[in-house]
Amino acid sequence: MKSAAIDIVAKFDVNLLIPSQNPCTMHGQGYEHHSVWWEGRCVYGRRSVTETKEKNFAASPSPAMALLSPARPPAAPPLRRWPSAVRRLRTSIVARSSLPFPPEKAKHYRELEAAVEAVERACRLCVDVKKSLLSREGRVLEKNDRTPVTVADFGVQALISLELNRLFPSIPLVAEEDSSFLRSSFSSSQGDEDHSCDSLVGSVLNAVSGNASCGGKSFTYDIVLGAIDRGGKNAVAFGVEPATYWVLDPIDGTRGFLRGNDFLYVVGLALIVEGEIVAGIMGCPNWKNDPLAGNSYSCESANTTIEASEHGTIMIAHVGCGTWSRKFSDSSGNDAQIYGSWKTCSVDSCSMVHEARFCIPDSQTWESLPLSCLYSQTVDDASVRDEHQIILLPTCCGSLCKYLMVASGRASIFLLRAKVQPTIKAWDHAVGMICVQEAGGKVTDWKGNQLNLAADQVARRIIFPSGGVLVSNGNIHTEIINLISSSSSVK
């Protein structure tokens, strides 16, 4: 009997990764790329070649087909069995790999695609850890600089570091945390085996292993701690030349993470290529409908607006491709509707300062800002206001959620004042900058200069804006700068 042959058509482009030996490595380190055939179109990596080809399943099944059936196919497999299996494969891949613009339009499509998945996994880690914190009434620790830190802080940095290093080992990472606090905690607990298993390091290891793309079965304490240190302050030394690297804020708004569902926190990741921000992803698991902005996002869509009170949001931007958002799913299910529901986002159209919606850092007051001598503030949007009063949105916590609000059209202005000796971190702004700019807004310091991410030539960790940071919809940016410059309080 002749062996059965089936024509398969691939109507989509996808990277099909087949694990060989080590499930946690890729690109010559354990993963191989293989072709998928469907109705005569072959997809290999990102390159599609239209061509008719037959696959003989009885002979030597390809690794791609091995995914569809755990056992070796019979000599003459019934044709009716394969379409359903292939459809399941196609649905899963399309749901999890698509971005809202084609690869040929985005030079860094592959990096952004991988980063979106990494950030979403990190957001799930946050959701899982937060649930455990609430049930156990909180595991809250203090870092040496007295800011609160959780398993999620370290876990997110380790997870994203591992995911990115697996795919892009040549691109360094600049991130907020290092493992020194964890290592000291681990050393003090090693004497007691039971306590060591329940140590902070053990909790981080469990959180990372439970959310890694490869299952994390081979992860050890040293692997996780090393992944955290890959983004630490002594991990890499840059120079004066433009550099390529990732910038990560594992959790911007840690206090918001700890305070409950009414407060925001963001996982923020940006890609810098030769000194320019080219892509960014912000994940906000508890993004809710803002009563001051109505019950929907300010995103352009012919469909219904996104209701994010249950799913949070993922926002992405790529240079030249705009800013987009969709729901965040806190489960690992294959919900094609969620993964395919990208909506393009834009800043608001406000063109009058007194009509703008402002947000400021949680640690600063309106009275400490130069505009306070010209405008009073209210948090009541329904109140009767004159031309000398603005709306101040109560938004907590961190800086990136303010960028997210401006990029989505919920706020018009984010105003931050730098301290006398500025300690503004690059990861608090990098991803927000590209999301706002691609949404039509503008980001500068208080003198109208672009924020220089390379000002810290060695570590790329600190920026030095003159006066502070101004994030706007672009329409009233120049007017705000002029108002600030006319104030004697500008340093």
d(CA 38, CA 8) in angstroms, rounded, equals 3
Q: What are phi and psi of 27, to 5 degrees?
A: 55, 65
The closest alpha carbon to 310, from 325, 331, 334, belongs to 331
* Residue type present at position 350: C
User: 251 a known binding residue?
Assistant: yes
CA 311 vs CA 304, 306, 327, 331, 377: distances in Å = 16, 10, 6, 9, 32
153 is catalytic: yes
- The span from the CA of 77 to the CA of 97, in Å, is 30
Tokens 């009170």 appear where?
A: 309
Residue from 13, 25, 150, 153 carrying the catalytic annotation: 153
Please tell me the distance from the alpha carbon of residue 174 to that of residue 430, in angstroms, as a whole number.
Answer: 11
Q: Are 208 and 214 in contact (CB under 8 A)?
A: no
Annotation-wise, does 252 bind a ligand? yes
Looking at this protein, which amino acid is placed at residue 23? P
- Supply the DSSP symbol for 23: T
Q: Which of 25, 150, 254, 323 is catalytic?
A: 254
Helix (H) or strand (E) holding 165: helix 151-167
What DSSP element (H or E) covers 100? none
CB within 8 A of 330, min separation 6: which ones?
123, 124, 127, 285, 311, 312
**Across the strands, what pairs with 318?**
279, 322
CB 107 within 8 A of CB 46: no
Checking 217-221 for CB contacts under 8 A at 24+ apart, the result is 217/23, 218/22, 218/23, 218/24, 219/24, 219/162, 221/186
Active site residue 194: no
DSSP code of 363?
T
Structure tokens at 68: 């569809």
Cis preceding linkage at 350, omega within 30 = no
Please tell me whether 241 is known to bind a ligand.
no
- C-alpha to C-alpha distance for 13 and 42, rounded to whole angstroms: 9
Q: Which value, in Å, is the radius of gyration of the alpha carbons in the chain? A: 24
249 is in an annotated binding site: yes
Any binding-site annotation on 428? yes
- Burial of 290-303, coded b for 16+ CB within 10 Å and e otherwise, reads beebeeebbbeeee
Backbone angle region of 417, left / alpha / beta, with phi > 0 → left and psi within -120 to 50 → alpha: beta
Active site residues: 153, 254
Which residues define the annotated binding site? Answer: 176, 249, 251-252, 428
Which residues define the annotated binding site for Mg(2+)? Answer: 176, 249, 251-252, 428
